[in-house]
Chain A
């Protein structure tokens, strides 16, 4: 019989944004445009 030794990774589905990305001190690597946009006042 064939067995897969490689354990299954956790799927990325339903992985919510990390809490750090929601803080204003998010790392520089954080990609902009994710999640909710901050309220931009209209001119």
Chain B
């Protein structure tokens, strides 16, 4: 959103910006070549992605929760929020992921102030 959210210097939660890209991100249900995609394929694609990041993030610590935005709107598109049990684990993951690539895209990682996703709305 357009609001200036505070970026904490340390938090158990990390934000991986715009990391998940739906195969039908341009037009819902249609791939980049203009062919329709089976919804099951989209689901599978999402699950593969989830598995990938869960596996990688688990190397840095115990994951409390992992949220992936698979929205199509611009706002927060493809954002991944991962909450670790401990702040140090999140810090280790941040250091470990910075400057790396995922599926040809640079990983943009920062601390997120969100600690309770049920309460996580922009106010």
Residues of A within 8 A of B (CB): 9, 11-18, 21, 29, 31, 34-35
Contact = CB atoms under 8 A, between A and B. Distances in A.
User: Interface residues of B: mostly helix, strand, loop or mixed?
Assistant: mixed
Contact of A29 (B32, B52, B56): B32
B106 A15 contact: no
Interface in B1-38: 21, 32-33
Given A9-B48, A11-B55, A12-B49, A17 B33 contact: no
Size class of B's contact patch? 10 to 19
Given A34-B106, A35-B106, A17 B52 contact: no
The binding surface of chain A is classed by DSSP as loop
Nearest to A29: B32
Contact of B101 (A14, A29, A31): A14
Nearest to A18: B104
Nearest to B52: A11
B56 A13 contact: yes
A13 B104 contact: no
Contacts of A35: 106
A15 B102 contact: yes
A21 B52 contact: no
A2 B100 CA distance: 35
A16 B104 contact: yes
